[in-house]
């Protein structure tokens, strides 16, 4: 993997991490187009640069994330993801990450589900107003929804946001919590992967990963601010259509 590849993938990660379109899926597809090997380095690279994008949340929401009440809710949301992630780590790393067909299937099905959900939700909120406050129980079930994102292409942000909306939370409340929940989730995923694979990488590899990490962080700072403004007036249906179109294009390309 060259430094140019690292920059391109860092930009893609920064753009897609917080949108309901699956950053992992995009990194896998982009890696295929760029001719990047899907070996251990590429898989670890994909995991670590996601933490770069997540750190943008820490910068933008520094005061919120370290409030005691929020910390307890983040723990409640993180526990189910951690348990499921540890249980299926080897399966995900060895068989799912890098599997283009898994990504394309998840993008297509997830896109269709997102469109159906948004049309149903638009009718629901006219009858039952959304809640602005989140309980520990809500946080736990959002964490359960987040665990679906161990499948590349599902989208961590999509699963958590839709899960929160199904619980009756407002879009603004669950989007913010989704951002914050990503911090312990990706920190743990990155730490686990580094612990298991650090001996495999050279100093050059570490430098390449560092470039992608920094680029994803910078791009994510911009995207988060835009996305917060976007959700105030729009739903996610357009992202559902985007997922379907992207999946169809790649399926035709692969065939």
104-125 tens-digit pLDDT: 999 999 999 999 999 999 888 6
* Cα–Cα separations (whole angstroms), residue 87 to 16, 123, 188, 222: 26, 38, 14, 34
- How many whole angstroms separate alpha carbon 255 and alpha carbon 248? 11
* Cα–Cα separations (whole angstroms), residue 46 to 80, 142, 213: 22, 24, 9
Provide the pLDDT for residue 127: 67
* Structural domains counted in the chain: 1
Q: What is the mean pLDDT of the chain?
A: 89
Higher-confidence residue: 147 or 205?
147
42: how many CB neighbours lie within 10 A of its CB?
19
% of the chain with per-residue pLDDT over 70: 97
- The SS3 call for residue 115 is helix
Q: Containing domain of residue 181, as a range? A: 3-254
Strand partners, 169: 131
94: how many CB neighbours lie within 10 A of its CB?
11
Q: Flag whether pLDDT at 248 surpasses 70.
A: yes
Provide the pLDDT for residue 99: 83
% helix, strand, coil for the chain, step of 5: 80, 0, 20
- How many whole angstroms separate alpha carbon 181 and alpha carbon 197? 25
Confidence class for position 188, pLDDT limits 50, 70, 90: confident
- HSE-CB at 22 with a 13 A cutoff on CA atoms is 35
Higher-confidence residue: 114 or 253?
114
Structure tokens at 154: 């599902």
39: how many CB neighbours lie within 10 A of its CB?
12
Provide the pLDDT for residue 39: 67
Helices 203-230 and 3-16: angle between axes, nearest 10 degrees: 30
- How many whole angstroms separate alpha carbon 53 and alpha carbon 13? 7
Calculate mean pLDDT across residues 38-43.
70
Higher-confidence residue: 50 or 240?
240
pTM summary value:
0.89
pLDDT digits (tens, 9 = 90+) for 71-107: 999 999 999 989 998 888 788 877 777 788 999 999 9
% of the chain with per-residue pLDDT over 90: 60
pLDDT digits (tens, 9 = 90+) for 58-71: 999 998 998 999 99
Calculate mean pLDDT across residues 132-141.
94
- How many whole angstroms separate alpha carbon 241 and alpha carbon 10? 24
Calculate mean pLDDT across residues 207-228.
94
- The SS3 call for residue 18 is coil
Q: Flag whether pLDDT at 169 surpasses 70.
A: yes
- In degrees and rounded to multiples of 5, residue 47 shows phi and psi of -70, -45
Q: Flag whether pLDDT at 239 surpasses 80.
A: yes
Calculate mean pLDDT across residues 188-197.
81
Calculate mean pLDDT across residues 18-35.
91
**Beta strand residue intervals within the chain, DSSP E:** none
- How many whole angstroms separate alpha carbon 253 and alpha carbon 249? 6
Provide the pLDDT for residue 249: 95
- How many whole angstroms separate alpha carbon 195 and alpha carbon 53? 20
CB distance 141 to 92 below 8 Å: no
């Amino acid at each position: 993997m060259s430094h140019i590849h690292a920059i391109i993938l860092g930009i893609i990660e920064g753009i897609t991490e917080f949108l309901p379109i699956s950053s992992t899926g995009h990194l896998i597809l982009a890696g295929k187009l760029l001719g990047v090997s899907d070996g251990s380095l590429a898989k670890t690279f994909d995991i670590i640069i996601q933490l770069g994008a997540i750190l943008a949340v820490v910068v933008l929401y520094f005061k919120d994330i370290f409030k005691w009440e929020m910390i307890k809710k983040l723990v409640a949301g993180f526990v189910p993801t951690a348990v499921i992630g540890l249980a299926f780590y080897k399966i995900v790393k060895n068989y799912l990450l890098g599997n283009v067909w898994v990504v394309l299937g998840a993008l297509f099905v997830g896109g269709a589900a997102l469109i159906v959900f948004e049309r149903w939700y638009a009718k629901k909120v006219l009858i039952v107003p959304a809640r602005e406050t989140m309980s520990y129980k809500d946080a736990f079930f959002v964490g359960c929804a987040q665990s679906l994102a161990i499948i590349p292409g599902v989208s961590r942000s999509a699963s958590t946001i839709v899960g929160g909306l199904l619980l009756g939370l407002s879009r603004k409340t669950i989007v913010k919590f989704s951002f914050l929940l990503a911090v312990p989730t990706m920190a743990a995923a990155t730490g686990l992967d580094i612990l298991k694979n650090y001996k495999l990488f050279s100093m050059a590899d570490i430098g390449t990963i560092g470039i992608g990490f920094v680029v994803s962080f910078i791009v994510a700072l911009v995207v988060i601010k835009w996305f917060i403004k976007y959700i105030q007036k729009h739903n996610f249906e357009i992202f559902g259509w985007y997922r379907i179109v992207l999946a169809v294009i790649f399926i035709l390309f692969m065939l």
